[in-house]
């Protein structure tokens, strides 16, 4: 079967599932199962396309609809780069749909008619974005993806916090979309076509004849896609949107939506910008933006007590690692293609890894919220015994995001930082950025040890009747945790897929994956035939299993008796909640240690200048005024719908006059 047929089948299943789940929305559980079934069936069709693309290469580009007046045509093509992101998006959406079947009972006052149908349309729009090769239709699907994700973020319609976060997301992402439209129109004026190939040629022409305009177009694309990816400061919307969205949608936001921004950056910088052009300079810009994101976001995450907000800030930080890898790869692409390929492969690998462990963490936070009603980690503790699947999955994901070997987060971070340091041998800036990235990895470890310690370890501080979530919520967490282990122990498989994806996108020939990463059981990055690093994850994993079994055997053979008594303080017994170590306290040792290492940093930070605080308060002078302006405009338009037929006829006459005036001016 052709790719177009399978993609059309997936689209029909998703849209049909959206209609059926909407019709049965009164039956919450049944509607959820139907949505999951539609997403799974569509996912099978999408994965068939993915497997065939990696096996046989890109298919034939197919034209579905032509708009010759606009120089546009709806053209569909699945290459390995598209397939890589299709696999990520489909897997995360299917698992999130299964998780949501019972989780949506948490929202008793909100109808699931505004969740399951919109989630399915969202997945269809993501597929459209990834397979379309005409920028006009790309923007159509991009806007549909943005609108559906907005409705999912603002699912809790009665919450003012949710609506405020939704307005901010709507304004920021649509401003970014305007940047994409502006850049596309400039290239369309040069080429007369919206096709990716024509736009690539137009950009090369502009860079040769009008470099200022050409680089401005690149900047517009960078801002548009980096905003969706969550790169600071454009990604300021993300820490607000994540906590208020349903946890299934939070997993989709972090695991799939922000990855589409990374896809856009790769399409532009690997497929549009000439390798012999300014790509190296833009690589430095992207690396600096990524390092800034992780340097700001991860220490901010460490200070959070809201579990979902902590994870939202960590998403910004991990996207920073991806952008750092992309920046190193783009900088090295013109002169050192082997090092560039390794850096880009590390960035793509971390993209897949982040989808796994961050979606797992958000689903774990949702499971805790489902059972306890709490996101405040200071009010949680000791849930590991009551929720073993959630606890073990979240612990594995936490260790993975922190880069603990042999899990998947270590392999991709190791490759990104190694290439960063190697690039720093000739460009010292990357040496500094690599050291910053290494330090922030320790901050990440501290942040998620805080999550594990405050939520799952210690004495229980919650209702003893708390128990594990239903299997529909536990199974997706277990699958994602298993992927964190498998991708870490066998990193060669995703790295070879990442190499195939990059080889189809970049405009130069890359060394083979065999020459770059070595054999099937070890990871030995090589440049020019010279091995620059070595990692044997399977050996390390086997050693850890043996040593863990040995330690457990020794502990069991000792047969030491355990005696549990109440906690005594000052001669009085106290309950666990009175003497436990809360999440807030876990941040204090880090601050003390940081002050000891850097004594120039005062123990108490000086007051933030009020004038600078106001200048940086984007909510006060940008987002909220824009939101109020949109509300006033909508209210004004609403006043014209008074139900008077003569008024509607008048609008028709006015609209016709405007159209005639435009035609006369254009002619």
Question: Are residues 247 and 347 both part of a single domain?
Answer: no
Compute the distance between CA of residue 95 and CA of residue 289 in angstroms, rounded to an integer. Answer: 31
CB distance 253 to 149 below 8 Å: yes
Number of domains in the chain: 3
* pLDDT tens track for 229-252: 988 888 788 888 878 888 888 899
CA dihedral 43, 48, 54, 58 (to 10 degrees): -100
Cα distances (Å, whole numbers) of residue 589 to 340, 342, 442, 457, 596: 39, 37, 14, 18, 10
* pLDDT tens track for 481-495: 999 999 999 999 999
Q: Establish if 553 belongs to a structural domain.
A: no
Q: How confident is the model at residue 641 (pLDDT cuts 50, 70, 90)?
A: low
Q: List the Cα angle 308/101/253 in 5-degree steps.
A: 35
Residue 599 token pair: 């004594």
Neighbours of 356 (CB within 10 A): 31
* pLDDT tens track for 257-285: 999 999 999 999 998 988 877 888 999 99
Output the pLDDT for position 595.
59
Q: Establish if 206 belongs to a structural domain.
A: no
Give the residue-averaged pLDDT of 598-613: 52
Residue 648 above 60 pLDDT? no
Biggest CA-to-CA distance, the chain: 94
Predicted TM-score (pTM) of the model is 0.86
Neighbours of 501 (CB within 10 A): 25
Q: Establish if 604 belongs to a structural domain.
A: no
Instruction: Give the HSE-up count for residue 277: Cα atoms under 13 Å, Cβ half-sphere.
Output: 25
Question: Are residues 245 and 287 both part of a single domain?
Answer: no
Question: Are residues 320 and 240 both part of a single domain?
Answer: no
CB distance 421 to 460 below 8 Å: no
Q: Establish if 189 belongs to a structural domain.
A: no
Lowest mean pLDDT among 30-39, 137-146, 220-229, 441-450: 441-450
CB distance 183 to 222 below 8 Å: no
Q: How confident is the model at residue 603 (pLDDT cuts 50, 70, 90)?
A: very low
Residue 110 above 90 pLDDT? no
Question: Are residues 53 and 135 both part of a single domain?
Answer: yes
Question: Are residues 647 and 510 both part of a single domain?
Answer: no
The residue segments making up the domain with residue 466 are: 275-526
Which of 222, 257, 292 is the endpoint of a domain? 257
Question: Are residues 288 and 334 both part of a single domain?
Answer: yes
Which of 478, 494, 526 is the endpoint of a domain? 526
> Which alpha helices (DSSP H) does 57-159 contain, by range?
80-103, 116-131, 135-153
Question: Counting beta carbons within 10 angstroms of the beta carbon of residue 112, is it exposed (0 to 12), middle (13 to 18) or buried (19 or more)?
Answer: buried
What is residue 278's three-state secondary structure?
coil
Output the pLDDT for position 600.
40
φ/ψ region of 608 (left if φ > 0, alpha if ψ in -120 to 50, else beta) reads beta
Residue 622 above 80 pLDDT? no
Share the mean pLDDT of the chain.
85
Q: How confident is the model at residue 144 (pLDDT cuts 50, 70, 90)?
A: very high
Q: List the Cα angle 512/518/521 in 5-degree steps.
A: 135
Residue 129 above 90 pLDDT? yes
Question: Are residues 328 and 247 both part of a single domain?
Answer: no
Question: Are residues 127 and 54 both part of a single domain?
Answer: yes
Q: Establish if 454 belongs to a structural domain.
A: yes
Q: Establish if 62 belongs to a structural domain.
A: yes
Compute the distance between CA of residue 393 and CA of residue 409 in angstroms, rounded to an integer. Answer: 15
Beta carbons within 8 Å of 351's beta carbon, 6+ residues apart:
88, 259, 262, 322
> What residues are paired with 415 via a beta bridge?
none
CA dihedral 265, 619, 251, 102 (to 10 degrees): -150
* pLDDT tens track for 362-414: 999 999 999 888 888 888 888 888 899 999 999 999 999 998 989 999 999 99
Give the residue-averaged pLDDT of 78-103: 94
Q: Establish if 108 belongs to a structural domain.
A: yes
Compute the distance between CA of residue 364 and CA of residue 420 in angstroms, rounded to an integer. Answer: 32
* pLDDT tens track for 508-531: 888 888 888 877 778 888 887 777
* pLDDT tens track for 415-426: 999 999 999 888
* DSSP-derived secondary structure letter, 605: P
Give the residue-averaged pLDDT of 180-197: 91
Percentage of the chain beyond pLDDT 70 is 85
Question: Are residues 163 and 88 both part of a single domain?
Answer: yes
Question: Are residues 332 and 365 both part of a single domain?
Answer: yes
The closest of 140, 146, 141 to 174, measured between CA atoms, is 146
Which of 466, 498, 526 is the endpoint of a domain? 526
Compute the distance between CA of residue 648 and CA of residue 375 in angstroms, rounded to an integer. Answer: 50
Residue 64 token pair: 């579905």
Query: Is the C-alpha dihedral spanning 505, 509, 511, 512 positive or negative?
Result: positive
Give the residue-averaged pLDDT of 110-130: 92
Question: Are residues 244 and 283 both part of a single domain?
Answer: no
Q: Establish if 311 belongs to a structural domain.
A: yes
CB distance 533 to 525 below 8 Å: yes
Question: Are residues 249 and 292 both part of a single domain?
Answer: no
């Amino acid at each position: 079967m052709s790719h177009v047929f399978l993609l059309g089948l997936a689209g029909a299943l998703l849209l049909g599932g959206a209609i059926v789940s909407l019709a049965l929305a009164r039956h919450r559980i049944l509607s959820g199962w139907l949505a999951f079934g539609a997403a799974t069936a569509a996912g099978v069709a999408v994965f068939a396309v993915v497997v065939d693309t990696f096996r046989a290469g890109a298919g034939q580009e197919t034209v579905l609809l032509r708009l010759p007046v606009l120089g546009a045509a709806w053209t569909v093509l699945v290459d390995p780069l598209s397939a890589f992101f299709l696999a990520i998006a489909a897997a995360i959406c299917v698992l999130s749909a299964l998780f949501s079947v019972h989780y949506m009972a948490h929202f008793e006052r909100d109808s699931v008619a505004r969740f399951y149908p919109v989630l399915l349309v969202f997945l269809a729009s993501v597929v459209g974005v990834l397979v379309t090769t005409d920028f006009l239709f790309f923007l159509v699907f991009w806007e549909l993806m943005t609108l559906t994700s907005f409705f999912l973020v603002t699912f809790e319609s009665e919450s003012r916090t949710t609506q405020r976060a939704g307005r901010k997301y709507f304004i920021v992402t649509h401003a970014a979309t305007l940047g994409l439209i502006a850049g596309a129109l400039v290239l369309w004026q040069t080429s007369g076509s919206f096709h990716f190939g024509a736009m690539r040629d137009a950009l090369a022409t502009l860079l040769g004849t009008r470099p200022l305009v050409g680089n401005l177009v690149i900047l517009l694309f960078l801002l548009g896609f980096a905003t969706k990816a969550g790169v600071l400061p454009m990604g300021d919307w993300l820490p607000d949107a994540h906590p208020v969205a349903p946890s299934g949608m939070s997993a989709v936001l972090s695991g799939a939506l922000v990855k589409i921004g990374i896809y856009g950056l790769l399409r532009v910088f690997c497929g549009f910008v000439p390798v012999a052009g300014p790509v190296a300079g833009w690589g430095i810009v992207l690396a600096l933006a990524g390092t800034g994101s992780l340097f700001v976001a991860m220490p901010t995450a460490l200070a959070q007590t809201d579990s979902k907000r902590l994870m939202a800030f960590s998403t910004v930080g991990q996207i920073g690692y991806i952008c750092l890898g992309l920046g190193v790869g783009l900088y090295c692409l013109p002169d050192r293609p082997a090092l560039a390929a390794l850096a880009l492969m590390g960035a793509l690998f971390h993209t897949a890894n982040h989808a796994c462990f961050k979606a797992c963490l958000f689903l774990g936070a949702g499971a805790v919220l489902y059972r306890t009603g709490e996101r405040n980690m200071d009010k949680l503790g000791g849930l590991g015994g009551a929720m073993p699947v959630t606890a073990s999955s979240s612990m594995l994901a936490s260790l993975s995001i922190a880069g603990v070997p042999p899990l998947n987060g270590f392999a991709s971070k190791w490759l990104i930082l190694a290439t960063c340091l190697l690039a720093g041998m000739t460009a010292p800036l990357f040496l500094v950025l690599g050291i910053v990235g290494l330090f922030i990895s320790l901050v990440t470890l501290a942040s998620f040890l805080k999550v594990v310690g405050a939520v799952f370890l210690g004495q229980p501080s919650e209702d003893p009747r708390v128990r594990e979530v239903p299997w529909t919520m536990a199974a997706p967490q277990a699958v994602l945790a298993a992927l964190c282990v498998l991708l870490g122990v066998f990193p060669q498989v995703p790295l070879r897929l990442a190499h195939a994806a990059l080889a189809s996108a970049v405009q130069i020939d890359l060394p083979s994956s065999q020459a770059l990463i070595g054999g099937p059981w070890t990871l030995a990055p090589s440049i020019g035939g010279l091995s620059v690093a070595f990692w044997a994850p399977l050996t390390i994993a086997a050693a850890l299993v043996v040593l863990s079994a040995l330690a457990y055997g020794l502990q069991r053979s000792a047969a030491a008796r355990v005696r549990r008594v109440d906690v005594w303080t000052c001669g009085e017994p106290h309950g666990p909640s009175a003497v436990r170590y809360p999440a807030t306290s876990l941040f204090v040792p880090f601050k003390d240690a940081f002050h000891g290492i850097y004594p120039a940093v005062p123990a108490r930070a000086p007051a933030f200048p009020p004038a600078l605080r106001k200048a940086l308060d984007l909510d006060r002078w940008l987002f909220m005024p824009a939101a109020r302006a949109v509300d006033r405009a909508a209210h004004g338009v609403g006043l014209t719908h008074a139900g008077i037929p003569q008024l509607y006829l008048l609008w028709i006459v006015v609209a016709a006059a405007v159209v005639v005036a435009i035609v006369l001016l254009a002619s």
